[in-house]
Amino acid sequence: MQTWSSTPLPSVPGSGPPLRLFDTATGEIRPTTPGATARMYVCGITPYDATHLGHAATYLAFDLVNRVWRDSGHDVLYVQNVTDIDEPLLERAQRDQDDWVVLGMRETALFREDMESLRVLPPQHYIGAVEAMSEISELVAKLLASGAAYRIDDPEYPDVYFDSAATREFGYESGYDEQTMRTLSAERGGDPQRPGKRNPVDALLWRMAREGEPSWDSELGQGRPGWHVECTAIALNRLGSQIDVQGGGSDLIFPHHEFGAAHAEASTGVHPFARHYCHAGMIALDGEKMSKSKGNLVFVSKLRADGVDPAAVRLALLAGHWRSDRSWETELLRDAEARLASWREAANLDAGPPAEDTVLRLRTHLADDLDSPKALAAVDAWAREARERRGRDEQAPALIRTAVDALLGVAL
């Protein structure tokens, strides 16, 4: 699929500490250790509705990862998918008497516009499951041939499942116990009740065609893939057998990223698939997780249509820590608009207080598990000083503008 575009990323003089991130699998904040090229896969949207602030917060967190790596001199190979064939998409299309292909294309186009307006750096590969169908079925066939997958004993629909005993380490990513896995699998698209599976949590890899459902021809028979294996195939074929960061919201910890890791490891023999599994906190509205199925949504596109500056949306979301579950409040936007105005005023003065120390603090806080609230506070302090006492450093406002653009993605 077509990715979105971005403005050139300015380079900031000096350097900061290497990026450390919290990793779900080990439960620790650990240094990331990319080579010259950092490799990141972030799960994309299921395009049956517009981008809400929960999605935006998650993509902004990984945008900071991208920016901090680039600021440290790494190239970043970034891949993101679009789940453009899945149950929720088909259900919504049916409800609205829409074509599922058209619905997916429309919402994906809107997502690209939202990401561009928020100045999220684009992935180099933006790949829909439908366009990756043959590589996905090839991976399923490989898992089946190696014994990591099996056909369920159902004469009508001999669907293919992944055997969760196929890798010794299964469960290491989430660390969840069996009961929790079963519960979450039922809540998040799995079918632990289905008879004939080796283990109730085993995940679907290939669903044989049902009457009236879209399906594709493959060596496995006419059908369509399960959700996790789509992301695994798209990631393995573009990033290789080991990546630096696997990203998404915390609702993807299990089953999605646990099975994604297990599919990849069963196929390549390389453990761990990701050196860091990173999960953003959930954004809630009125006390409940913002979700398409609950309908309690604030859309980025709606805010844009109302004339809200996307830079203020960005700052409002970055005012909270990426890993904390938090509530969206209108005051967050008001505060962010005030902050943006104060930064813009200060950063466009003829001179200001020296900014090198502020830039170092900005870099240091972001490198420390993306501590954006502290990073914003460092810029606040400089802006306050600049507005109240001015200062004589004529280079300082431009340095702040460059650093805030490169590291926080905000044009002042």
Least spacing, CB of residue 147 vs ligand 5CA, in Å: 26
Q: Which is nearer to ligand 5CA, 45 or 412 (CB)?
A: 45
Count the residues in the chain: 412
- Residue 262 binds Zn ion, judged by CB under 5 A: no
> What whole-number distance in Å separates Cα of residue 49 and Cα of residue 36?
37
Least spacing, CB of residue 324 vs ligand 5CA, in Å: 11
Nearest to 273 by CA among 71, 1, 25: 25
Q: Which residues, other chains included, contact 139 with Cβ-Cβ below 8 Å and sequence gap of 6+?
A: 229, 232, 233, 236, 263, 267
Contact set with ligand 5CA (CB under 6 A): 43-46, 54-55, 57-58, 81, 83, 231, 248-249, 251-252, 280, 282-283, 289-291
Which residues between 33 and 72 bind Zn ion (CB under 5 A)? 43
β-strands 283-285, 326-327 pairing: parallel
Least spacing, CB of residue 178 vs ligand 5CA, in Å: 23
* Tokens at 10, concatenated: 């300015």
- Residue 280 binds Zn ion, judged by CB under 5 A: no
Q: Which is nearer to ligand 5CA, 290 or 316 (CB)?
A: 290
Q: Which is nearer to ligand 5CA, 16 or 248 (CB)?
A: 248
Of 53, 231, 347, 410, the residue at the interface with Zn ion (CB under 5 A) is: 231
Q: Which is nearer to Zn ion, 5 or 293 (CB)?
A: 293
Spatial strand order in the sheet of 125-128: 125-128, 75-82, 37-42, 243-249, 274-280
Least spacing, CB of residue 174 vs Zn ion, in Å: 15
- Residue 243 binds Zn ion, judged by CB under 5 A: no
Q: Which is nearer to Zn ion, 32 or 246 (CB)?
A: 246
Least spacing, CB of residue 117 vs ligand 5CA, in Å: 17
User: Which stretches of the chain bind Zn ion, using CB under 5 A?
Assistant: 43, 231
